[in-house]
Structure 1
Amino acid sequence: MKSIILALALISTVAHATEDTEHNPCDAVENDVQTLACSAYGKAAAEQLLADNLQSLNERLQTLYADNKAQLNDITSKIRVAQQLWQKQRDADCAIAAFPAKPGSEAYKIAENDCMAQVSDDRSEFLESIGQE
């Protein structure tokens, strides 16, 4: 069940990424090299979406707290710290998800990329929800 959800999430991530580009390495995956390229593409797309949502959040907060710089500084500081902690947690969790594959192997990289894509998508949704009216 978990792998089905992960596969669906990766497909949605990749589908989102294909909106902006014509070449998608996830089209017609037939071998391990292509699987690795697809997983790297999905990770990159998810990380770009995360960066975009973090930027959008910062812009929303600038608007919401334009009249109260102390609150703006407080919330942006908390988000910065939370993001750093989340990145450490993501890295640790994805190392577990890639186990027992040998670090550096294709299987490890694929599992790690897929995990990072999934958790980055989850984080993107969370960041997108903050400060919505």
Structure 2
Amino acid sequence: MFNIRKITLIFLLLFARTALSNDVNNPCEEIEASSQIALCAQYDKEQSDNLLNSSYKATLNRIRLQYKNSPVLADQYLSLLKTAQREWIDLRDADCKLEAFEIEETAEAYQVTIDNCISRMSDDRADYLNRIAPDI
């Protein structure tokens, strides 16, 4: 069962994201066929995943640097961050499945919805991580 609002939202998000992108290898730049939408969503998810990983590593490094004189506190802080990140990934994945619930799992739109959700939530998480233990 396809929800027309979800499909419309997917297309709007894809085109809005495409308009903001300048990457030469970006398959989202000139979408001319519906088959390119899935490639674009997968690309966006990979880009967001890279951003999230970079933000996570930078946060770990900031904490290590800021707490270099307090190794016990650094270990506690890092442990909390690592646990929170693992649990957040589980929540993100569950929420994205929830967003795609009304779409048949074998339909291409299902994976596009999952990829777009993961991308959006990962970008938000990267922003959040960048605010943890900010440089002083």
Same fold (TM over 0.5): yes
Give the TM bin, normalised by the shorter chain: 0.7 to 0.9
After TM superposition, give the deviation of residue 62 of structure 1 in Å.
1.1
Q: Whole-Å Cα distance in 1 between the matches of residues 36 and 13 of structure 2?
A: 16
The aligned residue for residue 77 of structure 2 is 75
Q: 2:125 aligns with which of 119, 123, 126?
A: 123
Q: Which has the larger radius of gyration?
A: 2
Larger mean CA deviation between 36-45 and 98-107 belongs to 98-107
Provide the identity percentage: 30
The partner residue of 1:113 within 96, 112, 115 is 115
Instruction: Show structure 1 runs of 4+ deviating over 6 A.
Output: none
How many residues get paired? 126
SS at 2:106's partner residue?
Answer: coil
1:11 deviation in Å?
Answer: 1.2
Q: Where do 5+ consecutive residues of structure 1 fail to align?
A: none
Relative to the length of structure 1, the TM-score reads 0.86
* Residue segments in structure 2 that go unaligned for 5+ positions in a row: 1-5
Matches of 1:81 and 1:32, distance apart in 2:
39
2:102 corresponds to which of 97, 100, 105: 100
The answer for the alignment partner of 2:3 in structure 1 is none
State the alpha-carbon separation in 1 of the partners of residues 106 and 92 from structure 2: 18
Partner amino acid for 1:15?
Answer: S
Matched residue, 1:7: 13
Q: Normalising by structure 2, what TM-score?
A: 0.84
